[in-house]
Amino acid sequence: MSAAELRVVGVRGLPELRAGDDLPRLLLAALAGIGEQLCDGDVVVIAQKAVSKVEGREVELADVRPRPEAVEIAGSDGDPRHVELILRESRRIVRRRGRLLVCETRHGLVCASAGVDRSNASGPDRAILLPIDPDASARGLREAFAREARTAVVITDSFGRPFRRGTSGVAIGCAGLQALQVLTGRHDSAGRVLQHTAIHLADQIAAAAELVMGAIGGIPAALVRGLEWEPGDAGITATLMASERDLFR
């Protein structure tokens, strides 16, 4: 299940992306520009913002009319239009401290601000929303790459977590590989049967890719090469913990 060695290659050279751009074509061109081509078994990792931009998931804040609750949460320092977008993208506020909102998004992801973010947007008064269905976005990209090679696709974002400072790359969409690698029933090195053991492979891929992609927005994609993975189509949605099983909701 695990390779002895893998490479994580940042894909530089993508142009500034716009709604309607052919992301797979641009990505293949950028790969060629760094002397690479897709190979069978590659995992193509793409930053959420790249996917959201080509899918037209950017919003001009001037077009947003905030509800009274958004005005209240924004207070005197915040932007009620930004808060309004966060409320629209959420099915539930999980925690709130002042203007900090930890939300359950319509997809079931739990993250700060429902993933609505102004950094790396196309202009100073624009905000980027998460894709409507990141697993579907990943499937579409994978199908487009299928002419070149049998790949898997992971769409990443950077989320803060409880208990620890700072963000880490997480997978918000996935296609082609089994995101959750279940080891229950297998034996450890001492012959003991593993219980309740499952590794979130896609999250680990996302974190590895973020090491080369960084947060500054210059490198919106990466290849992970040399990793063994099992085919699967359940996506990330299937790996989100049901709210009623979650000790922290």
Residues 42, 149: contact at Cβ < 8 Å? yes
CB-wise, 4 or 147, nearer to its own copies?
A: 4
Encoded tokens for 108: 């079931």
The footprint of its own copies on residues 164-223 (CB under 8 A) is 164-170, 180-181, 183, 186-192, 194, 197-201, 203-208, 210-219
Q: CA 43, 48, 51 angle in degrees (round to 5)? A: 85
Interaction of residue 158 with its own copies, rule CB under 8 A: yes
Residues 200, 167: contact at Cβ < 8 Å? no
Element holding 231 (H helix, E strand): strand 231-232
Mark 12-51 with x for binding to its own copies (rule: CB under 8 A) and - for no binding: x---x-----------------x-----------------
Alpha-helix runs per DSSP H in 19-153: 23-33, 48-54, 68-74, 80-89, 134-145
Q: How far is the CB of 147 from its own copies (least distance, A)?
A: 25
CB-wise, 140 or 175, nearer to its own copies?
A: 175
Binding region for its own copies (CB under 8 A) out of 18-26, 74-82, 141-149, 240-248: 240-248
CB-wise, 71 or 240, nearer to its own copies?
A: 240
Q: Which residue from 108, 47, 121 is spatially nearest to 79, judged by alpha carbons? A: 121
Q: How far is the CB of 171 from its own copies (least distance, A)?
A: 9
As beta bridge partners, residue 107 has none
Encoded tokens for 213: 């992609």
Q: How far is the CB of 55 from its own copies (least distance, A)?
A: 18
The footprint of its own copies on residues 118-147 (CB under 8 A) is 118-124
The footprint of its own copies on residues 87-116 (CB under 8 A) is 95, 97, 100, 102, 109-110
DSSP-derived 3-state class of residue 22? coil
